[in-house]
Amino acid sequence: MEVGSGSTLLSTLGDNKLFLPSACGGGGTCVQCKCIVKDGGGAILPTEKPHFTRKEIAEGWRLGCQVKVKQDMKIEIPEEIFGIKKWDATVVSNYNVASFIKEFVVEIPEDMDYKAGGYIQIEVPKCTVNFKDMDITAHPEEHPDQKDKFQKEWDNFGLWPLTMKNDEVVERAYSMASYPAEGRRIMLNVRIATPPWDREKNAWMDVNPGVASSYIFNLKEGDKCVISGPYGEFFINESESEMLYVGGGAGMAPMRSHLYHLFRTLKTGRKVTYWYGGRSKRELFYIDHFKALERDFPNFKFYMALSEPLEEDNWKEKKSIDDEGDGFVGFIHQCVIDNYLNHHEEPEEIELYFCGPPLMNQAVQKMGEDFGIPDENIRFDDFGG
């Protein structure tokens, strides 16, 4: 392949329709764009070294976003990269399913051969987004007759004056909430990324809001956007072992993808439990969908927990998994430990899948290790939270 020099290996391959995954926009932090450089890449950079073992460095592993194309090169890239494509997608719908989370649905012009739990990348063009232009209408099916349900919270948090400015084309990764049987319609669950809060000023810090989430929140039905895929490693292990899913926030996306594929497509006979947590009831969504799965499949159980239930939630606390009530109170990982794993005869035989905010992910990872679940049976997705 003949190319010009001067750009990174990541962007050079992308210009030639070979799309290495890259979740951090070329910052060298996500370690998704790794490949083997056999010749012509120069010495490994200090920004790359922490991400590889000595053995991997000796084998030539590099980060595509850090390697500059300066001379003839020999490289090896994973075979699945050749199946990744880029499309002009059309926005089908973009409703709020929770206070700060969108259900963003696009349609692509041809089928994407993806697995449940995979992710796409969305291209964010140079743009300016004013939050006052965003439409946060509540999802008409999830929140019937409550069109303005989330307006008050956005008012209270003073989000409307915020502005996002993006000066260069970047890509960001999002897990798919859709599952393969849903065809050309690709669904994401996207949380708006606000600037940090300045407690002294009692206002948002003068920092750019999340570039990709702001862009997505501002897209309307009929708009076009560019996505590429499929990417991913967070896939279902084909076995007969029990499966334990733990999710929080926008980490719902790959959970829905897995669970709908397991039950609606595969009609699995495996024992599966799904534990989902949020601060208050306003942060929970798709609850009726999973209760419907529970009714249809006796081998599936769905549990919820709120860490900070509000008075208006009227949350009826369960004291055990067999208790009547809405759900548990506490952090989701602790609820799983206290009400499930502590009473399980063989927790080390479970396959653990999880996705949520970083602190939740860390706690659930430790939980799995503490209960003796082997590393190969602990699977998590870093992009959902």
pLDDT, mean of residues 96-123 = 97
Q: How many helices (H) and strands (E) does the chain have?
A: 8, 19
pLDDT, mean of residues 89-93 = 99
Convert the pLDDT of each residue in 210-227 to its tens digit: 999 999 999 999 999 999
CATH 3.40.50.720 assigned to domain 243-380? The reply is no
The percent of residues in the chain predicted with pLDDT above 90, rounded, is 90
pLDDT over 80 at 22, yes or no: yes
User: Token digits for 55?
Assistant: 């053995």
| DSSP E strand stretches across the chain | 34-39, 61-63, 74-76, 85-98, 101-107, 119-124, 127-130, 163-166, 170-175, 185-191, 197-198, 203-204, 224-231, 243-248, 272-278, 300-306, 328-329, 351-355, 378-380
Q: 196, 191, 210, 246: which is closest to 360 by C-alpha?
A: 246
pLDDT value of position 383: 59
pLDDT over 90 at 39, yes or no: yes
Task: Say whether 234 sits in a helix, a strand or coil.
Answer: coil
Q: 86, 87, 105, 106: which is closest to 96 by C-alpha?
A: 105
> How is domain 9-78 classified at the architecture level of CATH?
Roll (3.10)
Domain boundaries, the chain: 9-78, 84-231, 243-380
pLDDT value of position 384: 45
Where b means 16+ CB within 10 Å and e means fewer, 229-266 reads bbbbebbbeeeeebbbbbbbbbbbbbbbbbbbbbbeee
CB 74 within 8 A of CB 113: no
CB 263 within 8 A of CB 293: yes
Q: How far is CA 340 from the centre of its chain?
A: 25
What mean pLDDT, rounded, does the chain reach?
95
pLDDT, mean of residues 362-384 = 92
Convert the pLDDT of each residue in 257-283 to its tens digit: 999 999 999 999 999 999 999 999 999
CATH code for the structural domain at 84-231: 2.40.30.10
Query: Which residues on neighbouring strands pair with residue 380, listed in sequence order?
Result: 354
Which distant-in-sequence residues (6+ apart) come within 8 Å of 132 by Cβ? 160, 161
> How far from 269 is each of 26, 244, 348, CA to CA, in Å?
42, 14, 20
pLDDT over 90 at 160, yes or no: yes
* DSSP letters for 301-320: EEEEEESS--GGG---B-SS
pLDDT over 80 at 5, yes or no: yes
